[in-house]
Amino acid sequence: MDVDVDPSPSPSPTPDSDQGPMPPPPNHDSSTIETDADDHQQLQQEQEAVSRQQVQVSAGTKCAPTYSVVKAVMEKDEDGPGSRCGHTLTAMPAVGVEGTPGYVGPRLILFGGATALEGNSSGGTGTPTSAGSGGIRLAGATADVHCYDVLTSKWSRITPIGEPPTPRAAHVATAVGTMVVIQGGIGPAGLSAEDLHVLDLTQQRPRWHRVVVQGPGPGPRYGHVMALVGQRYLMAIGGNDGKRPLADVWALDTAAKPYEWRKLEPEGEGPPPCMYATASARSDGLLLLCGGRDANSVPIASAYGLAKHRDGRWEWAIAPGVSPSPRYQHAAVFVNARLHVSGGALGGGRMVEDSSSVAVLDTAAGVWCDTKSVVTTPRTGRYSADAAGGEASVELTRRCRHAAAAVGDMIYMYGGLRGGVLLDDLLVAEDLAAAETTTAASHAAAAGSNLQTGRFPGRHGFTDERQSMSESAPEGAVILGNPVAPPANGSIYADISHENAMMQGCRRLSKGVEYLVEASAAEAEAITAALAAAKARYVNGEVELPDRDRGSEASPSGKPISALSKADSAAMDNTPTIGIRLHHQAVVVAAETGGVLGGMVRQLSIDQFENEGRRVSYGLPESAFAARKLLDRQMSIKSISKKVIAHLLKPRGWKPPVPRQFFLDCSEIAELCDSAEKIFSGEPTVLQLRAPIKIFGDLHGQFGDLMRLFDEYGAPSTAGDISYIDYLFLGDYVDRGQHSLETIILLLALKVEYPVNIHLIRGNHEAADINALFGFRMECIERMGERDGDWAWRRMNRLFNWLPLAALIENKIICMHGGIGRSINHVDQIESIQRPITMEAGSVALMDLLWSDPTENDSVEGLRPNARGPGLVTFGPDRVMEFCNNNDLQLIVRAHECVMDGFERFAQGHLITLFSATNYCGTANNAGAILVLGRDLVVVPKLIHPLPPAFGSRETSPERHMEETWMQELNANRPPTPTRGRPQGANDRGSLAWI
């Protein structure tokens, strides 16, 4: 059945053929480029004006790249997608470590589309057909899936298992982790259902799933756009429901289950009702909608940015600059801060055909560029040999209804329609300017971090001067919700209902975004001062714009756009204090998630949940170059840290080594310790850190749990989220568990590789007199030999003496291993402790910091003896409140005690105990947790449950039992600290009183 996906009221337009430029219509206006002398002189004047404008543009602004044809490889004809249009092309990141088993390189996934035109079943050959008043009609809709391997340039057809979507074209697709989410479109039977279909590529055999979404949603539609914003929200905008073009905005929070569409009502001037636009989300969360066709079938030139404020409001804003041409049925994709737009239709059978067929919106510079120059006036959108310069690349990109995707700095484009001919070529272009744009943005980030909160600055270079709508929590207040107990039935989420979605005590916003705002848990807001600063230059400590941007500027709609204000160094001091909030729901991954479907849901929900907007560089301008320095250092010669990371950082592929011989020798451990010690010795005793950040509690050599946490909630690697979020570990890396060596060695290697992103503080087990008794020394000797093992153990303990002792986050949260005990009343007491320091030489303050615990519950105040040993104390909630008040703090995060849910609140939520190892010592059956602190200062607990050993696995084998004998005997002779909240009698062999 034929599929009409482009109705057009134009009176019998005839599509272009590809034999040459289309002659102008009889009633063309005077702005059309002609070849007579007057117009040629006018063209020269325009070009001179463009040249003058280019002089004013910053040196970092580059023109759009040119495309060339890729010579792809196909073993069989059916491996290639063939001629088609109205399909989608989605980029999939590489999986695993290159050069290791299981590595899969970057891929392009092509789905669906129309493979023929009505009356032209051959698709890619034959005479172009006339569209008639109904426009070109598509036929041969398909649901096949093709994969292009970027590294081998090879096409293949894949046949996923499961129930596939119906054949369709003019649908939308976006990547969520290693999955492709598909929605909408139109097929042989008319509009496709609104269901979300997921192509899961995490398994060896791809599988289709249909995601159940509750409540009303966007409904069936085609010609709309969809993108993943902030690595969390699926946004569906506009399109046509079969009756009219739409302008509505829908959001689905992939971190909240059951899934539910929410209709948003963003503020600001948004796009008109339109279809066939494009939308692409920048890595920091800004969604940019470009072009489209309005209700009167008029192509749109403007671009609109959609972003979420710190206080939860969504807002549209018109992007600055002059678009070279209106267009629809085009393709667009971000490469860093540059939106690459290609092709497109103009209506009446015309397409964008001159040098503007490829354009770039540089969001860092706030200008549009085509393949020739910066655009200062709209192009005509008509083909001209003078404008195109006779370049074959212009003809290559003269198309519509194609699809594009980006892998790194490479932009790929496939298929489409030119005139009445379907295309089957794959084009590629490289944007060498993208990396430079990123560097410029990072350089300016330090300046922009001081812009006032409540404004809406962006890389477009404009500022919203309205007052912030946020209602900050009272100064010093900690707003806490009810934690979610880990589920016992294996479901991923618990108590996630509409009634429970609203946080207790929080304000309720209007315009239908309540649930989305309150469920935003730990997401960094995409529009922060860093986005504005990307356009600015850092001059003498203030933001200064190029001359061409000073004063008022007009948007494409003719409305004025105010210039970006200079940064006020004191602005941050005048910003209302933001309260720390513990989010009402904890994210939980159970032992079993229901097979492959469970894995799919986990990916949709939380895989990149912490990939918040790119970090704002605070402090001195030099810190803005940290990311670039880090990258340069990573490209240096191989080091021990790189060897360790390549060997151990395998969140999904790590298995306990057999045999247990450790893979590093003494000299390599010495080199790693030397490198790490230089870093630790240069750090303060109390680290000064910024959000967003993940916080880990005790690990105790349970390396498998560390890998599970990395797998479920993001790993500290360039392929993970290290560019977006810091990591803080609260000590007790060794002892008790089977793999203390792997745990501490990997963390040290990560510290060496990412010294400004990975942070380690000291626990009570990072002391020779303790870890000589509780397993670490024994493990070193067992796995490295007596002489080498003892030497390595001593060297690492000398390093432990240099570890920082606490961390202060945003001057609102203090993190330590144990507690404040009886002696610590002010943070400067901790700062005054000199390192290196051994436990024996330490003061009472050091003992309190590493060994003290809260009392049994909030009703027990003051100081009490601690069952851990003589001279140690527990401290009550009154001590917690006193310490917070003395230091203007809102929260204490500490580790040191096993808690059943992985985290536990104390002192009315002003103290949280955190424990990351599951089933502590093989007997506690506790969950493990981390805390994720977003830039909005919302604290989200994220849990994992103990995994039962698989039947017939190494975990249940006799060899495993023999390996564990010495550790089991040690834990029996030296029972672990009782799980917090579990009273034990004095005669209980597991109690410290018995010891």
Inter-residue contact 807 to 686 (CB < 8 Å) = yes
Give yes or no: 402 in active site: no
Whose structure tokens read 């999986």?
95
CA geometry: angle 318, 319, 320, nearest 5 deg? 115
AA identity, residue 504: Q
How far lies 615's CA from each of 359, 526, 692, in Å? Answer: 28, 10, 8
Q: Which of 464, 448, 452 is nearest to 266 (CA)?
A: 464
847: tokens are: 């003992």
> Which residues have C-beta within 8 Å of that of residue 629, sequence separation ≥ 6?
none
Beta-sheet strand order (sheet of 68-69): 68-69, 421-430, 410-418, 403-407
Q: Please answer whether residues 246 and 195 qualify as being in contact, where contact means their C-beta atoms are separated by less than 8 angstroms.
A: no
Tokens representing 518 are 């309150």
Give the Å distances, CA to CA, from 728 to 289, 610, 666, 697: 37, 14, 27, 9
Among candidate residues 87, 330, 460, 765, the one labeled active-site is 765
Pairing of strands 410-418, 403-407: antiparallel
DSSP 468: P
DSSP-derived 3-state class of residue 730: coil
Burial 111-123 (b: 16+ CB within 10 A, else e): bbbbbbbbebeeb
Query: Do the Cβ atoms of 592 and 484 come closer than 8 Å?
Result: no
Q: Which residue in the block uniquely carries the two structure tokens 């969390």? A: 232
Beta strand 179-183 with 186-187: parallel, antiparallel or unpaired? unpaired
Angle at 877 between CA 874 and CA 880, to 5 degrees: 90
Cβ neighbour number for residue 273 with a 10 Å cutoff: 17
What pairing do the DSSP bridges indicate for beta strands 542-544 and 686-689? unpaired
Structural tokens at position 542: 């203030």
Q: What gap in Å lies between CA 716 and CA 634, rounded to an integer? A: 14
3-state class of 105 per DSSP?
A: coil
Residue 597 DSSP label = H
Helix (H, G, I), strand (E, B) or coil at 320: coil
- The secondary structure of 111-143 as a DSSP string is E--EEEETTBTTSSSSPPPP--TT-PPEEEEB-
CA–chain centroid gap for 74, Å, is 34
DSSP letter (8 states) at residue 62: -
Contact partners, residue 841, CB within 8 Å, separation at least 6: none
User: In the numeric block, which tokens belong to residue 347?
Assistant: 């209506």
Alpha carbon 670 to chain centroid, angstroms: 35
Contacts of 497 (CB under 8 A, 6+ apart): none
Q: How far apart are CA 339 and CA 993, in angstroms?
A: 66
List Cβ<8 Å contacts ≥24 apart for 629-633: 630/754, 630/756, 630/757
> Token digits for 198?
């997921």
Q: What is the distance between the alpha carbons of residues 319 and 375, in angstroms, rounded to a whole number?
A: 14
Any idea which residues carry the catalytic annotation? 765
